């Protein structure tokens, strides 16, 4: 009975302390699963002009177009976080390091197809803790993982112990 009570106490207090974090992780995880279904989470990937590989613009031209757009989040090359190329849709998705912004550029005729906010990137930062800083991302999220394992084990014990005890009594 001593183990059961200790497990119940540990399970209860860890559950109470980490409930908000678990809720935040679950909600953001659900939103990330649905990001392709809602344009307010992640902007729809536009489709560029028809053309083959030989028609694609160069990286130099891509960066010239993005920097010439005049958007404050894309003022210099240092503002660019990454470029995602979708050859099937013939579009470059250039993502800023600031404000979760992206510019989509037609890979054939270098037109700007879209300038939008990628809320999915902010949701991912919330989900993995990096939104709150490196300490939360690196250390607290690991603690949440350990707590999840402990809650699972103690929860299984709390569920299984009475069932095994009852089965033992019925057998006797």
Report domain extents, the chain: 1-40+132-172, 43-117
Could you give phi then psi for residue 71, rounded to 5 degrees? -85, 135
Helix (H) or strand (E) segment spanning residue 83: strand 80-86
pLDDT in tens, the chain (172 residues): 687 888 888 888 888 888 888 899 999 999 999 999 999 999 999 999 999 999 999 999 999 999 999 999 999 999 999 999 999 999 999 999 999 999 999 999 999 999 999 999 999 999 999 999 999 999 989 988 998 899 889 888 888 888 888 888 888 7
Please enumerate in sequence order all residues whose Cβ is within 8 A of that of 66, keeping only pairs 6 or more positions apart, or say none.
Answer: 74, 80, 94, 103, 105
CATH number of 43-117: 3.10.450
- Cβ 143 vs Cβ 72: under 8 Å: no
- Which of these, 104, 107, 106, lies nearest to 116 by C-alpha position? 104
Can you say whether residue 70 is alpha, beta or left, with left for phi > 0 and alpha for psi between -120 and 50 degrees? Answer: left
């Amino acid at each position: 009975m001593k183990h059961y009570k200790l497990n119940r106490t540990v399970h209860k207090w860890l559950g109470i302390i980490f409930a908000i974090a678990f809720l935040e992780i679950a909600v953001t995880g659900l939103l990330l699963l649905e990001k392709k279904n809602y344009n307010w989470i992640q902007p729809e990937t536009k489709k560029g002009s028809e053309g083959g590989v030989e028609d694609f613009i160069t990286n130099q031209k891509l960066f010239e177009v993005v920097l010439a757009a005049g958007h404050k989040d894309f003022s210099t090359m240092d503002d660019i976080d990454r470029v995602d190329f979708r050859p099937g849709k013939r579009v470059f998705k250039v993502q800023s390091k600031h404000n979760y912004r992206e510019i989509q550029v037609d890979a054939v005729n270098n037109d700007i197809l879209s300038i939008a906010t990628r809320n999915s990137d902010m949701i991912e930062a919330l989900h993995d803790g990096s939104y709150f800083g490196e300490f939360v991302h690196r250390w607290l999220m690991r603690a949440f993982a350990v707590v999840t394992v402990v809650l699972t084990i103690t929860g299984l014990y709390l569920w299984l112990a009475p069932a095994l005890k009852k089965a033992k009594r019925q057998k006797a």
